Copies of this chain bind each other. A is one copy, B any other.
Amino acid sequence: MDRTDDSLIALRRILRATELYGRDLARDAGLTAVQLRVLQIVAERGSCHPSDVASQMGVSQATISVLIKKLVSYGLIARQISATDRRQVDLSITSAGREKVAVAPDALQQKYVAQFEGLPEWEQAMVVSVLERVAGMLDAGDIDAAPVLAVGEITRHNGAGQGAPTSERERSADVPEDQADQRKAS
């Protein structure tokens, strides 16, 4: 069954390449990989709650809470208590956040899209079909709440940009106290 091995190896190469590249890309934006992912999710959804992000990323609420706090302190996303249910928090991306996302496009898109679009039609169709089949084999059963990622645009077509990655990573950060925490504290 060499074929099984071959397919596993290829799959692992895909995972590895994505992970490593994603790390670099986030770094260039002055964020960590996880922070960038949160930002991308919020950007995609427009408005959502921390728990949505947590479930999509597969991490706990506690984790998201910390990440959001950080991103808020960077001024990349904003928090607002929901009008309908004051336990909930509505997240939204700020213009600064949108800019970041534009500068650091998705890891897959950056490397993959151009090549994919260069394939002949029939091959594109085959790739899509196989990937969907494989995805189905892997996630069967836990499709989870997330309606998958809407993905879609996000500045794809760009191709340009990226000329000057704003990287200012070390921003002492932290100690933002509450600010923006309109809930307790009062």
Contacts and interface: CB of A to CB of B under 8 A. Distances in A.
20 contacts: A1-B117, A4-B116, A5-B151, A7-B124, A8-B112, A9-B151, A10-B135, A12-B148, A13-B135, A14-B134, A16-B143, A20-B58, A24-B154, A27-B155, A111-B138, A111-B149, A126-B130, A127-B133, A130-B130, A130-B131
Contacts of A5: 151-152
Interface size, A (range): 35 or more
A133 B17 CA distance: 13
A28 B143 CA distance: 21
A3 interface: yes
Contact of A135 (B17, B126, B148, B153): B17
Interface stretch (A45-53, A68-76, A102-110): A102-110
A15 B28 CA distance: 22
Interface string A110-137: 1111011100000011111011111101
